[in-house]
Structures are given as C-alpha cells and as structure tokens.
Amino acid sequence: MSEKPATGETTPVTDALVQVSFAVLDVLNRSAAELDLSLTQLRLIGILRDRSPNMAALAEFLGLDRSSVSGLIDRAERRDLVVRRPSTDDARVTLIDLSPAGRKVGERIGELVNARMDELLNGIPVGDRDQIVRIAQRVLASDT
C-alpha cells in the first residue's frame, strides 16, 4: 500500500510514527492506570526522577499551562507522590520533589512499562531495536 500525499492524506512515515505512538501511548496509559495514575502523572513522575524543577519549568517540560500544573501538583501532593519545597533564593518560586513514596511508584511504573514495551516489541530483532534507538536520538536531537 504505497501512498500518494493527496489532499490531507498523511505520508507513510507520518502514519507509521502516529500509529506506533498511539500503541506506545496505550502501553503507558495502561501501565499508569494499573497504579491509578493518569498519563500526565506518569510523565510528571518520570520527569521528577532526576530533577527538582520549579512550577514554570515543569509546565515547560509538560507543555502545559502553569495553572494546569498547579492542579496537577495539588492532586499529586494530596496523594503523597510529590512535595512542594519553597526556594530559599526567591520566595516566589516553589520547587517540586518526588516524595519517597513517589519514588517507589516511579520504580514500579518503570518496571511495568518495560514489561509491556517488551511485549509490544516481541519479535523485533536486536538490530532493529538498535535502529530505533539510533533514529530516535537523531529525531530528538533536532527537536528543540
């Protein structure tokens, strides 16, 4: 099924990436749901694994409005996944840390996602996996 880029038709490579992304999204969603997390909370925890950003930076990472992040952190804090920590430099800024419990959840999520991604990649040879990593790095490198 070779494609022609007709009116509004997506190109083969666009189509391929979109389809795979939805499959990956499904893996992430199901993994998150298993721990009663939303996809955004999963991302949040992933980001906080090796960072303690302020609200603005977090909004930037997640591509969300700051007010959205306020609510997100409210709910995550209520569930003891993260902690708000006032900055000592600037009394306006709030830094976000993963709580110990949040870190544990992060580890469990990582395992779940790994397992399910393994299923998704079942039958994909090592060579192709290396290609995935290589090409992904290229794509992400040029993505500001």
Partner DNA sequence: GCCATTTAGTTGGTGATACCAATCAATGTA
Partner DNA sequence: TACATTGATTGGTATCACCAACTAAATGGC
Q: Which residues bind DNA (CB under 7 A)?
A: 37-38, 40-41, 54-57, 62-75, 84, 87, 90-95
Q: How many CB atoms lie within 10 A of CB 99?
A: 16
Q: Which amino acid type is present at position 25? A: L
| Choices 67-75, 81-89, 91-99, 129-137; region in contact with its own copies by CB under 8 A | 129-137
Q: For DNA, give the closer residue by CB, 40 or 117.
A: 40
Cα separation, 25 vs 29, in Å, equals 6
DSSP 56-94: HHHHHHHT--HHHHHHHHHHHHHTTSEEEEE-SS-TT-E
- Interaction of residue 68 with its own copies, rule CB under 8 A: no
Q: Which class for 86: exposed (0-12), middle (13-18), buried (19 or more C-beta within 10 A)?
A: exposed
- Interaction of residue 10 with its own copies, rule CB under 8 A: yes
Q: For DNA, give the closer residue by CB, 66 or 134.
A: 66
- Applying CB under 8 A, the residues found at the interface with its own copies are 5, 7-14, 16-26, 28-29, 43, 63, 106-111, 113-114, 117, 120-124, 128-129, 131-133, 135-140, 142-143
